Chain A
């Protein structure tokens, strides 16, 4: 008998019904966004006019599929580019942070640890504007006093990368630190005892142990970057990533089924990546 579970039948049925309703609530908008990507109609609304893949691959005017829409494709490549760079940077710095806070002793460690977490509790919009303001201050300063044009400090891809990096690093640091905490330090000592150098120990014992966490931190970082909106919105220039392009389209053109198709693409893509990261964690740890 599970003492945690409700004992009476009525209570149990109510509870189960509630669970069911909750999951319907979770699924409803996703299903709604997904279904109309396959509707052979120019509106993403009922009635259902038959199945089509035109909103993905179509190339004739009313139904230009997302893979033939230049701006959406550009957005996608921008997102890909930003996502890879940002998550690679965040994983590298996150690994350093994990070692710093798990292995090293230094003054003001607690204060610095709180500083590390703080980006998580700053609203994304504010991270965006603060980096925008700070970058512009430097750029303006350079322009007036040195007559330098630091174009990369104006809204654009570079600032988007910095903005996303600023809070993603906290997430990757926490993921990697959690794994590093589980590491049995005696494994390193054993390797040292067997004659390995510090660098060798790191490369052959510690990093392989961290590999699943590094991988999933990268995947998580990539997904969050790909889907980020708030911070990106404030920093974006002419080379907008996919979410911004899609938002523009939604506000300016209204919702056409091609946006449903983009939604399906995002859902499937991130779903696959998430599963991949879960599998990687599971296989490597042998649990």
Chain B
């Protein structure tokens, strides 16, 4: 397997703040992280996206020094840190539940790291004031942790790390505990804070929208391995594996067998006998191979059955409108195919002609390269 690289990472002159070199971590017989390599360029926002239990938290704890890798090396600013204790690494961490010290006030929380470094009182006071100004919470030093709102706590947790000017800031799903509205807001705010502090952020999350919105580069992690690293749009538009195609963004999945291959195109016969078309990258796919085809809801078009041209070149699937899912600009039509599976199709639910009704017979189709074809598991 070729080492996966972040997109702009090939240039020799580029400085990496964080490098992970073939990191493997085993707990007894269980391998939590398998041979993970990546590089994070200075000043970028890098996310690791994966379902819970994929090993992303373990990877982060290895970087912070709370776990020792079984194999591999971690380099910060080009220097290996495996030999240094967690409290000696210049990698600071925002914890999942923030871990603000409940027995200290806000000022003491932020001053904690500076005190540990042995800085003098006046410097500490100045720096605490300065960082609170920067995060837009001036004058909260004397407040107690419980007096702040969720979003404010978030910012304080970041400030507590940033006041120490770390090489890399690790963020362990810090938005998980917030409600939806605030989470949407904090996504933008985090991105802005990262620009403002101009520090490398390594963010781990299971929420693909957080990763896509904020990151310069995203690594998709599954079962201890990195499946793909790339900018968000690349992951979305050109997933390299079935897992990425299914995990990043919404997708409809069709299972079938390859019945014809020509160039980069394949014809796939579904279980119900219908045929669909899809782009095919994987050279290993052969005639008769079991495959999954992923198609994004926005790539599917929908027409009334009687209107469709009989000689249409695209994939055409017959179905019946099952229900309309209204959600403003993100409204969808749910179509039940003949084998009774459901397909989601993006569709502005309009008036009159545009409006599909429940029970109407429809045809679904997509441009060939909108379908991504991968070998099916198992």
Interface residues of A (CB under 8 A from B): 1, 3
Chain A residues within an 8 Å CB radius of B61: 1
Q: Is B215 an interface residue (CB 8 A)?
A: no
B291-324, CB < 8 A from A: none
How many angstroms from the CA of A1 to the CA of B86 in the assembled complex?
12
Q: Write the B61-88 contact mask toward A (1 if CB under 8 angstroms, else 0).
A: 1000011100000000000000000100
How many angstroms from the CA of A1 to the CA of B67 in the assembled complex?
6
Closest 3 CB pairs of A and B: A1-B67, A1-B66, A3-B66
How many angstroms from the CA of A3 to the CA of B65 in the assembled complex?
10
Q: How far is the CB of B70 from chain A (nearest CB, A)?
A: 13
How many angstroms from the CA of A3 to the CA of B87 in the assembled complex?
11
Chain B residues within an 8 Å CB radius of A1: 61, 66-68
How many angstroms from the CA of A3 to the CA of B66 in the assembled complex?
7
- Pull 6 A–B residue pairs with CB atoms less than 8 Å apart, ordered by A: A1-B61, A1-B66, A1-B67, A1-B68, A3-B66, A3-B86
Q: How far is the CB of A179 from chain B (nearest CB, A)?
A: 26
Q: Is the interface of B mostly helix, strand, loop or mixed?
A: loop
B165-194, CB < 8 A from A: none
How many angstroms from the CA of A9 to the CA of B86 in the assembled complex?
18
Q: How far is the CB of B245 from chain A (nearest CB, A)?
A: 35
How many angstroms from the CA of A213 to the CA of B61 in the assembled complex?
41
Chain B residues within an 8 Å CB radius of A3: 66, 86
How many angstroms from the CA of A1 to the CA of B58 in the assembled complex?
10
Q: How far is the CB of B273 from chain A (nearest CB, A)?
A: 51
Q: Write the B321-365 contact mask toward A (1 if CB under 8 angstroms, else 0).
A: 000000000000000000000000000000000000000000000
Q: How far is the CB of B251 from chain A (nearest CB, A)?
A: 38
How many angstroms from the CA of A3 to the CA of B67 in the assembled complex?
9
Chain B, Cβ-Cβ closest to A3: B66
Chain A residues within an 8 Å CB radius of B66: 1, 3
How many angstroms from the CA of A1 to the CA of B66 in the assembled complex?
6
Chain A residues within an 8 Å CB radius of B68: 1
Q: How far is the CB of B332 from chain A (nearest CB, A)?
A: 35
Chain A, Cβ-Cβ closest to B65: A1
How many angstroms from the CA of A238 to the CA of B66 in the assembled complex?
66
Chain A residues within an 8 Å CB radius of B86: 3
How many angstroms from the CA of A3 to the CA of B68 in the assembled complex?
12
Q: How far is the CB of A5 from chain B (nearest CB, A)?
A: 12
Chain B, Cβ-Cβ closest to A2: B66
Q: How far is the CB of A48 from chain B (nearest CB, A)?
A: 46
How many angstroms from the CA of A3 to the CA of B86 in the assembled complex?
10
Chain B, Cβ-Cβ closest to A7: B85
How many angstroms from the CA of A1 to the CA of B68 in the assembled complex?
8
Chain A, Cβ-Cβ closest to B62: A1
How many angstroms from the CA of A1 to the CA of B61 in the assembled complex?
9
Q: How far is the CB of A258 from chain B (nearest CB, A)?
A: 53
Q: How far is the CB of A3 from chain B (nearest CB, A)?
A: 6
Q: How far is the CB of B69 from chain A (nearest CB, A)?
A: 11
How many angstroms from the CA of A24 to the CA of B66 in the assembled complex?
34
Q: How far is the CB of A49 from chain B (nearest CB, A)?
A: 52
How many angstroms from the CA of A3 to the CA of B61 in the assembled complex?
11
Chain A residues within an 8 Å CB radius of B67: 1
Chain A, Cβ-Cβ closest to B68: A1
Q: How far is the CB of B101 from chain A (nearest CB, A)?
A: 15
How many angstroms from the CA of A179 to the CA of B22 in the assembled complex?
51
How many angstroms from the CA of A16 to the CA of B86 in the assembled complex?
24
How many angstroms from the CA of A189 to the CA of B67 in the assembled complex?
48
How many angstroms from the CA of A1 to the CA of B27 in the assembled complex?
10
Chain A, Cβ-Cβ closest to B67: A1
Q: How far is the CB of B95 from chain A (nearest CB, A)?
A: 12
Q: Write the B41-62 contact mask toward A (1 if CB under 8 angstroms, else 0).
A: 0000000000000000000010
Chain A, Cβ-Cβ closest to B61: A1
Chain A, Cβ-Cβ closest to B86: A3
Q: How far is the CB of A4 from chain B (nearest CB, A)?
A: 11
Q: How far is the CB of A67 from chain B (nearest CB, A)?
A: 53
Q: How far is the CB of A247 from chain B (nearest CB, A)?
A: 45
Q: How far is the CB of A283 from chain B (nearest CB, A)?
A: 32
Q: How far is the CB of B114 from chain A (nearest CB, A)?
A: 21
B142-179, CB < 8 A from A: none
B218-257, CB < 8 A from A: none
How many angstroms from the CA of A200 to the CA of B68 in the assembled complex?
59
Q: How far is the CB of B152 from chain A (nearest CB, A)?
A: 27
How many angstroms from the CA of A235 to the CA of B229 in the assembled complex?
80
Q: How far is the CB of A2 from chain B (nearest CB, A)?
A: 9
Q: How far is the CB of A7 from chain B (nearest CB, A)?
A: 8
Q: How far is the CB of A9 from chain B (nearest CB, A)?
A: 15
Q: How far is the CB of B286 from chain A (nearest CB, A)?
A: 46
How many angstroms from the CA of A238 to the CA of B61 in the assembled complex?
68
Q: How far is the CB of B290 from chain A (nearest CB, A)?
A: 42
Q: How far is the CB of B49 from chain A (nearest CB, A)?
A: 25
Chain A, Cβ-Cβ closest to B85: A7
How many angstroms from the CA of A2 to the CA of B9 in the assembled complex?
35
How many angstroms from the CA of A275 to the CA of B21 in the assembled complex?
53
How many angstroms from the CA of A176 to the CA of B61 in the assembled complex?
42
How many angstroms from the CA of A42 to the CA of B367 in the assembled complex?
101
Q: How far is the CB of B68 from chain A (nearest CB, A)?
A: 7
How many angstroms from the CA of A103 to the CA of B11 in the assembled complex?
69
